[in-house]
Amino acid sequence: MPIFAFPLAFIGLLAVPALVAVYFLRSRAREQKVSSLLLWLHERQMWEGGQRVHRLQTPLLFLFELLAILLLITAAAGPKLRAGEEGRQLIVVLDDSFSMLAGNDEGPRNRAARALEQELASSRYESVRFVLAGETPQLLAEGKTVQEILRGWKCPAPAARMEEGISFAFELGRSRARVLAVTDHPPANPVSDSRLQWWAFGSARPNVAFVNAVRTRRDNDDRVLLEIANLSAASISTTLAIESLSQGGAANQQSAVRNSQSLTLGANETRRIALTLKEGVPALRASLSGDALAVDNEVVLLPESEKSVRVDLRLKDQGLRAVVERALQSLRSVSLSAERPELVISDVETELGNSEAWGLQLISEKDAASFLGPFVVDRAHPLSDGLSLGGVVWGSGRSEQFPGSPIITAGNIPLLSDVERLGRHELRLRLRPDLSTLQETPNWPILIWNLINWRSRSAPGLEQANVRLGADAALKVQTDVASVKVTDPNRRTTELPVHEKAVSIRAEAIGVYEVMSNGADRSRYSFAANALEREESDLQGAASGRWGDWSKVPDLQREYRDLRWLLLLLAMVVLAVHAMLVRRFRLNFTKESR
C-alpha cells in the first residue's frame, strides 16, 4: 500500500465542494428572454451553449476538473509506493585478504561469519548480495544460502580494497541499498554516508612473518635472501627451519632439515638472512614458528630456470666472427649449436629454417665511412637498453635505403634495424670493424647481451619461478600450443587459452602451481606463490567495533518509490484534454448561434 509523506495536503480537498457549488449554482440560473443579443455580446461569449450542449458539457468538464484537483492534491501529499523485491536490499562487502585468517577459530573471519548469520536470520531484508573485496571487487554467486556463500569465503587475497568494494556495492544497489562492510580494522575515515555500516572483528596481535623471499641464480650456485619482520611493539623469539623439497613438493627424505636456528627480533625489527645453495636443490621451504597468522610463516622457493639460447654462427668473415665470439663467450646463457637454433648470426642472406629462430645479419659494405654521430637511438627498443654511444666511431655503408624499422641511426643513415614477422625478429646490423671502435667499447657486449636476453625472454618458459600471492606468472609457449592446463596448490585444474604464444596465470593460492602445455611436446612448468605482504601481516592496527547508523537514512528515500512525478504528469494530461474539450464546445456553440 502507498503511504503519504505530507498527509496535511489533503486539506486541499475542500476545493471539491467549491467546484460542486459552482456547477450547481450555474445549473440553477433562470432563463431570461430578450429581444436582441446585440447589446449582450459579452454575456453571449460567456454563456457556454444552449440546453443540448449544456447537458453534454457540464458533467464531462466537471469530471475532468474534479479529477485534476484530486490528482494535484494527491501529488502534494507526497505518495510513496513500496519498491517491491528490491526495496529493502542489503549488500555485504567482505574483506577477502589473508589477515582475516589471524587467530584461527576465533579469528576475524569466523567471528564475522557468525555475526552475519545472526543478522541475516531475522529476514529483515528482501534481498542480500555479497561482494568480495580483494585486489578487485567480485560479486559472489547468487541463489545460494548464506551458509553456502560464507563457506566460499576463503580469504586468500594479498590485499583488500575496501573502498573499491564499497563503491562497487553502491553501484549495484544504487540509492536504495544498505551496504555493510565486514573487515578486521576500523575505517580510515569517519563513516559519513548514512547508508553504510562498517563492522570490524579484528584484534591487535603480535606477528612474525616473511615479508620478502628471493632466489636467484649466480655462477653455479643459487642465492637465497629471506626477510623476516617482527610486526609488534615487543621483542619476539622464533625458530627458522629450512629444508629441501622433492619435485612433488614433499620434504626430501635424503636431506632432512638443512638448517634450524633460533631468532630473537626486536620490536618492529626486520632481519635479512642470506643463504647459498649448491647446484641441484630442486626446491626450498623456509618456515617460522607458529603464531597468530599461519599463512605468512612459510615460503617455498623454486630454482629459477636459466634459459640457454642456442646460437648458430654462420659468419664467413673471420674478423666479424672473432668480434662476435668474444662477446658471446662472456655470457653463460649461450650455447653454440647448429641444431634447432634460436638465434642465427650470419654475414650473408640466409634461410633461418626453424620457424622459431631469430636472425641477426652483420653487413660489412665496401662503400663505407666512419660516423662520429650524432646517433639517434630508439630507447623504447629492447636492444637499446644501457647503450651510450658518445665518442663511439661506427663504420657503416652510406646508403639511406635500408629494410626494417631503424633502432640506431647516424643522421639519416640506418645502422641497426628490426623486421618483425609473426613474432620472429630479423635484425640487420651494418658494421665495418676496421672503420669502427664500437666493438672495442662496452657498448658491444651490452648490445649482444641485450639481444641474448631479449631472445631468452621470448623463448618458451616461465619468466619467474617464484611470484607473490596475487601476482601473474607469465608463461611463453611454442607456436603449436593453443592452451595450457594449470593445477593449483589445492589440486584444482583449469584450462587457460594461449594468446600470441603467451599466457598469464594469476596466483590466487599459496603453494606450488603445475602447468602443462597441450602442444606436441607436452612441456611442464612449475612456479611457487608466497604470501609476502607486510601490510596484511601487520596486525597491530586490527580492532573490533561498529561504525555507521542506518537509522539516519529516511526509510521513504531508501525503500519506497516517489509517485509525485506520475500524478503530476497525469494531471497535466487531464488539463490538456479539458482545454481541448472547452475549445471544441465553444466552436460548436458559435456555429449554432450563427
Write the CATH number for 143. Answer: 3.40.50
Beta-sheet strand order (sheet of 405-410): 334-336, 309-314, 343-346, 358-363, 424-430, 413-421, 405-410, 375-377
pLDDT at residue 293 tops 90: yes
Question: Which band of pLDDT confidence, cut at 50, 70 and 90, is reported for residue 582?
Answer: confident
Q: Do 442 and 509 fall into the same domain?
A: no
pLDDT above 70: residue 106: yes
| Mean pLDDT within 403-412 | 91
User: How many domains are there within the chain?
Assistant: 5
Window from 71-75, 110-114, 165-169 with minimum mean pLDDT:
71-75
Contact 13, 73 (CB under 8 A): yes
| pLDDT per residue as tens digits for the range 484-536 | 999 999 999 999 999 888 899 999 999 999 999 887 778 899 999 999 999 99
C-beta of residue 74 within 8 angstroms of C-beta of residue 167: no
Sequence-ordered list of residues with C-beta below 8 angstroms from that of 160, at least 6 positions apart, any chain = 95, 96, 97, 99, 133, 134, 183
Write down the pTM of the prediction: 0.68
**Which pLDDT value is given to residue 53?**
38
* Domain limit, last residue, from 458, 487, 517: 458
- For 300-349, the pLDDT digits (tens) are 999 887 778 889 999 888 888 888 988 998 887 888 888 888 899 998 87
CA dist., res. 53 & res. 268, Å (int): 97
Cα 487 from Cα 6, distance rounded (Å): 63
How far apart, in whole angstroms, are the C-alpha atoms of residue 341 and residue 302? 28
pLDDT at 544: 95
Alpha carbons 281 and 54: distance in angstroms, whole number: 108
Residue 47 pLDDT exceeds 80: no
Q: Which three cell numbers stand for residue 453?
A: 636476453
Cα–Cα dist 119/197, whole Å: 13
**pLDDT score of 378:** 94
State the residue for C-alpha cell 594461449. 498
Which is more confidently placed, 84 or 145? 145
- Model confidence pLDDT, tens digit, residues 256-292: 447 889 999 999 999 999 988 877 778 899 999 988 9
CATH number at residue 517: 2.60.40.1930
The pLDDT value recorded for residue 594 is 52
> Parallel, antiparallel, or unpaired: how do β-strands 368-371 and 343-346 relate?
unpaired
Q: Are 326 and 433 in a shared domain?
A: yes
Question: Same domain, yes or no, for 189 and 325?
Answer: no
Kindly report the CATH number assigned to the domain that includes residue 382. Answer: 3.40.50.880
Residues 222 and 106 in one domain: no
Q: Does residue 584 sit in the same domain as residue 499?
A: no
Q: What percentage of the chain has pLDDT greater than the value 90? A: 44
Average pLDDT, the chain: 84
Kindly state the average pLDDT of the residues 207-211.
Answer: 96
Indicate if 16 and 114 belong to the same structural domain: no
Whether residue 558 has pLDDT greater than 60: no
What was the pLDDT predicted at 37?
Answer: 62
What are 472's three cell numbers?
Answer: 601473474
Residue 591 — very low, low, confident or very high, per pLDDT cuts 50/70/90?
low
pLDDT over 90 (residue 151):
no
**Predicted pLDDT of residue 86:** 43
Domain containing 234: what range? 210-306+533-537
- pLDDT exceeds 80 at position 552: no
What is the distance between the alpha carbons of residues 126 and 189, in angstroms, rounded to a whole number? 30
Specify the DSSP class assigned to residue 156: -
pLDDT for position 276:
86
Q: Are 444 and 320 contained in the same domain?
A: yes
Q: Which residue has the higher pLDDT, 140 or 184?
A: 184
Report whether pLDDT(67) > 80.
Answer: yes
Three-class SS state of 417:
strand
Q: How sure is the predictor about 146, in pLDDT bands with cuts at 50, 70 and 90?
A: confident
Do both 339 and 452 map to the same domain? yes
DSSP state of 422: T
> What confidence score (pLDDT) does residue 247 get?
52
Same-domain status, 398 and 321: yes
Q: How many CA atoms lie within 13 A of 275 on its CB side?
A: 23
CA distance 168 to 153: 18
Say if residue 547's pLDDT is above 90.
yes
DSSP for 282-317 reads: -EEEEE----S-STTSEEEEPPPP---EEEEEE---
Nearest residue to 426 via CA among 414, 415, 418: 418
Residue 55: per-residue pLDDT: 42
Tell me, what's the pLDDT at 371? 92
In which band, very low, low, confident or very high, does the pLDDT at 52 lie, cut at 50, 70 and 90?
very low
Q: Retrieve residue 224's grid coordinates.
A: 637465497
Q: Are strands 394-397 and 368-371 parallel, antiparallel or unpaired?
A: antiparallel
pLDDT > 60? residue 555: no
Closest of 445, 436, 443 to residue 364, by C-alpha: 436
DSSP label at residue 142: S
Cα separations in angstroms, 345 against 311, 317, 351, 435, 457: 7, 12, 11, 21, 18
My answer on whether 386 and 491 are in the same domain is: no
Closest CA to 231 of 292, 167, 310, 298: 292
CA angle 30, 35, 40 (to 5 degrees): 70
Q: With 80 as the cut, is the pLDDT of residue 35 above it?
A: no
Q: At a CB cut-off of 8 Å and minimum separation 6, what does 213 contact?
A: 224, 225, 226, 227, 286, 299, 301, 466, 530, 532
* Range in 20-29, 70-79, 413-422 the model is least confident about: 20-29
CATH number at 252 reads 2.60.40.10
Three-state secondary structure call for residue 110: helix
Does residue 215 share a domain with residue 268? Answer: yes
With bands split at pLDDT 50, 70 and 90, how would you rate the model's confidence at 465? very high
Task: Say how far apart CA 44 and CA 487 lie, in whole Å.
Answer: 95
C-beta separation of 337 from 310 below 8 A: yes
Cα separation, 211 vs 229, in Å, equals 7
Confidence check: pLDDT of 56 > 60: no
**pLDDT score, position 254:** 43
**Amino acid letter for position 284:** L
The verdict on 369 and 390 lying in the same domain is yes
How does pLDDT run across 368-382, given as a tens digit for each residue? 999 987 899 999 999
